[in-house]
Structure 1
């Protein structure tokens, strides 16, 4: 007989809502993937890499050229030097990087603090390692962390704090002060930090990404995870990476080599060439801010309460003036009755706290956004 290690875990809400969207022919604003193509030049680079013979295993840590380009990026943006040969690893997407970092350092009975609403891969990964999840609920509509509350949650068993900025699903950004307070707590209590920064290049209204790499004492105890799929519109390629100081990366790679070993080689070669031009990621905030503004403008006559997203390609919509239903029921009804799919946010909260909000993805072409908004305005 099998005893499940994750007995309460069901199919992810992203898969559920996308399947529901397919069944009902709905406009899919739920799962976070673009409905437009990646740069044809990047696709061509992958083809060239295949034709040039990069079709066998890449080095375990990653293609040397790509590791060097990532190192250059951190130096350019955050004035932080990560050694390509010992402090960077290419992963099969950011989710694998997150799982590997947790697996590498969290032991049975140790506690991990997460901020809820939280991306749904954090908690299962902690549970699989026998760790205990300690949630800190962020309050709508600001979703700003209460560091006094965080401090009270820290015990002698606390091993790690997981942070995510820009934050999915709220679009909130950690400020410089937030990161300094995180740094102080991590140093004082000798904690490891996992900083999920997959949306680092999607930040709006002139704000600056406060990467953990910017803070010297914090970066020395932090795994930073990132995603090429989110950055370059190709989530199906499943390529990401992790950067961390050498001592942490050594433990990370001990796990990585046995659950993945190495990642798609021709894609790595293509990304190494593509990243030589920083404009390919530096222009992303402007690109997505136009989409955010277009979508919000399309909803200007709707009954939703909207606080514009500060980052990511997600927007929360408060439907409390429209319905008293719980958000899961509301999202299901939207899909089945109105043919537009969204994500209910209570599934990411501690105790499924319901703020009457749904999450929509605006990483779509204008036709899709206009069609989705037209439906939402009828509510």
Structure 2
């Protein structure tokens, strides 16, 4: 066979892969690392990662697990003491009653979300994704061969979609609603009243389930986190996902979980059993300690995140063209930057959209952020405010200077 024929051979990769997009946050972080490797002082605000160390008592529990020889395979849905600790957490923090057989522990909340989507969504099923949304939701629906229906919240309503919008979007093919609260990327928090209106809509459509991503639960500046599963009339149709990465600064530990009706939890366990099986034994023991320690360390981090949010907003209000509501949780700001579309950069290139602007800021200000395209909001850019105060101040000083050139 000639080399030309070899070059022209069809790709062996699956159609499924061709339909998927790379994670935009990971892609931008990769570009930032490449620039940094060239000696450029890049400030990365692209990743949603706490800059805090995991609390020492959690590290100590992991070390103890190693010393105790707790190094063997674990049950697929998690070790019994962690699943019980998660049940206790739900009772303590959320007034929700689950049994251990309703809990599935996974290698991060991302796997928990994927397990739930793959367990519930059939080819052709419609999944309503409240927008702006976390970058992986739509890709998970693609993997399940579902159809994503994007439901966009308005800037005037802090980017939150309404129950009236939800009602209008539901069709006989609707199977699932996906959302996060506090929201990544906007920091918006759905109130008890707003979730109650969603629950009322679901009551009128008994074929519809909900996947509630609560990974930012503890990073909430409103004083109240409310779970959709607390509405008894729909609790059996809600899958609640949470984890340890944000509230306990345990990103690298890769530990998340879901709680659901027993048959849905069993289905998620079945999916996981064929992909990863049980997650890291040492991380699970650390998770038991984290939950036993309460949320004191998380509350301390929240105060730092609140301070950083206010620091950034104080700078942003003096940057013409950046419009952002005040986030009520998480550690991001998500400004509308459409005022800069159509502008010309100093090198003569045009800023046509948020992706162009994010790339411009990376190359000119040496600040990495993520275009809102990946979050279903093409007029916006996401900046993480989880970095140290001095880095944030310098990053937005640079951004202000760079935007003034347009």
TM-score calculated relative to the size of structure 2:
0.87
Query: SS state of the match for residue 233, structure 2?
Result: helix
Alignment of 1:300-379 (within 5 A): 300-303=317-320, 304-321=322-339, 324=342, 325=351, 326-349=353-376, 354-355=378-379, 357-378=380-401, 379=403
Deviates more, 1:303-312 or 1:27-36: 303-312
* Separation in 2, partners of 1:213, 1:290: 31
- Separation of aligned partners in 2, 1:316 and 1:129: 29
Kept in 2: contact 1:6–1:124 (CA 8 A): no
Q: Distance in 1 between matches of 2:266 and 2:73?
A: 20
5 Å-filtered alignment, 1:135-146, equals: 135-141=150-156, 142-146=158-162
CA distance in 1, matches of 2:324, 2:170: 34
Deviating more after overlay: 244-253 vs 325-334: 244-253
Measured after TM superposition, the shift of residue 166 of structure 1 is 0.9
Q: Do the aligned partners of 1:49 and 1:267 also contact (CA within 8 Å) in 2?
A: no
Partner of 1:37: 53
Matched residue of 1:226: which SS? Answer: strand
* TM-fit CA distance, 1:339: 0.4
CA distance in 1, matches of 2:255, 2:194: 29
Contact 1:60 1:261 in 2 (8 A): yes
Question: Is 1:212 the equivalent of 2:228?
Answer: yes
Partner of 2:286: 270
- Confirm or deny that 1:80 pairs with 2:96: yes
Instruction: Report the equivalent of 2:4.
Output: none
| Matching residue of 2:7 | none
Unaligned runs of at least 5 residues, structure 1: none
Note the 1:189-268 alignment, pairs <5 A: 189-190=205-206, 191-204=208-221, 206-268=222-284
Bigger RCO of structures 1 and 2 (CA < 8 A, at least 6 apart): 1
Aligned residue number for residue 348 of structure 2: none
What secondary structure does 1:90 align onto? strand
Of 14, 17, 21, the match for 2:32: 21
Instruction: Give distance in 2, aligned partners of 1:296 and 1:50.
Output: 44
Q: Alpha-carbon deviation of 1:92? A: 0.7
Post-superposition shift, 1:233?
A: 1.4
Report whether the alignment pairs 1:169 with 2:180: no
Greater C-alpha radius of gyration? 2
| Among 281, 287, 293, the residue aligned to 2:310 | 293
Secondary structure of 2:240's counterpart equals strand
Spell out, residue by residue over 1:193-225, the C-alpha distance to the aligned partner (whole angstroms, 9 max, x if none): 111111111111x33112123222232211111
Cα pair 2:155 2:325 within 8 Å, conserved: no
For residues 2 and 23 of structure 1, the distance between their equivalents in structure 2, rounded to whole angstroms, comes to 27
Aligned length, in residue pairs: 373
Q: Could you tell me how far 1:322 is from its partner in structure 2?
A: 5.1
Deviations 1:33-66 (A, max 9, x none): 1234222332222122111111111222112221
In structure 2, the residue matched to 1:49 is 65
- TM-superposed CA distance for 1:185, in Å, is 2.0
Q: Which residues of structure 2 form unaligned runs of 5+?
A: 1-11, 37-41, 343-350
Q: TM-score, normalised by structure 1?
A: 0.92
- Residues 318 and 358, structure 1, Cα contact 8 Å, conserved in 2: yes
RMSD value, Cα = 1.9
Contact 1:36 1:364 in 2 (8 A): no
Partner of 1:131: 146
Instruction: Give the equivalent residue in structure 1 for 2:122.
Output: 107
Of 92-101 and 240-249, more deviation after overlay is shown by 240-249
* Equivalent-residue separation in structure 1 for 2:80 and 2:298 (angstroms): 20
Q: What per-residue deviation string (whole Å, max 9, x for no partner) do you get for residues 132-168 of structure 1?
A: 1111122224212132222122121111111211111
Q: Structure 1: how far apart are the matches of 2:286 and 2:144?
A: 35
Q: What is residue 94 of structure 1 aligned with on the other side?
A: 109
Q: CA deviation at 1:323?
A: 5.4
Q: Quick one: structure 1 residues 135 and 323, their matched pair in 2 at CA, closer, same or farther if it must change by over 3 Å?
A: closer
